[in-house]
Amino acid sequence: MNRFILRMILFVFPAFCFIYSCKTHRQSKSNSDGFVQIFDGKTLNNWEGDPVYWRVEDGCMVGEITPATILKRNSFIIWRGGITKDFELSVEYKVTAGGNSGINYRSEELKDVPYSMRGYQSDIDGANKYTGQNYEERGRTFLALRGQEVVLEPNQKPVIIKSLGDSLALINAIKKDDWNVCKLIVKGNRMKHFVNNVLMSDVTDNDTLNRKFTGLLGVQVHVGPPMKIYYRNFLLKQL
């Protein structure tokens, strides 16, 4: 056999096997493990947001604020494919240094304010000041800072019951200007936020006046300077 052809076979075949195995792994994670891809990487089908700020680029859902499109209020792109109750979510994200975003869940849409949401949020920012905390958009605000396990009661401030680790170690687990994996595990009145498999915040919501057990899912571009947030591989599993 011609040496050139042999070398090509030896080079191309392993590469083909690698690509095929990645595709097979993604399919198995989307099916046999109960996870469903809710963003197809090509279109914004089943998502609704302001097209001034949201688009698809290189397989990613991208939210961008430019000097010409500075926001006066936060703007969300909302998933229209269902609602979130008890679920596990895994998504990769990358945010620019001055960026601020977040993943809302069990949230409600404000009909009188376009592309706005109220509800629980897994916070994300480029400076990693807030990333991983639990913040209630247009509600009770800070529910748990990064590194806190808290319990919420009606008409009381959050009660910190446990530290989740050294603050420096937690922030060092989050990559800057690179891809991170955000994972949410939400069941009943307990909400856990992870970044790169490190638990960042843990909330048990006993506040019967304000807690929610169902609602919409959406992601945010936040008021502030020009920024970009990238999301890919949105995987959702109902529990």
- pLDDT tens sequence across 185-221: 999 999 999 999 999 999 999 999 999 999 999 999 9
Instruction: Specify the DSSP class assigned to residue 158.
Output: P
Give CA separation, 9 vs 2, 4, 37, 127, in Å. Answer: 11, 9, 34, 46
Which whole number is the average pLDDT over 87-106? 98
- Closest by CA to 137, choosing from 226, 69, 220, is 220
Domain ranges of the chain: 1-33, 37-238
Whole-angstrom Cα distance, residue 221 to residue 211?
24
- Is the pLDDT at 154 greater than 60, yes or no? yes
Give me the pLDDT at residue 30, please. 52
Residue 3 has pLDDT above 50, yes or no: no
Give this prediction's pTM.
0.87
d(C-alpha 2, C-alpha 6), whole Å: 6
Parallel/antiparallel/unpaired status of strands 180-187 and 87-95: antiparallel
Query: What confidence tier does 81 reach under pLDDT thresholds 50, 70, 90?
Result: very high
| Whole-angstrom distance, CA of residue 71 vs CA of residue 13 | 50
Fold of the domain spanning 37-238: Jelly Rolls (2.60.120)
Phi first, then psi: give them for residue 191, nearest 5 degrees.
-130, 120
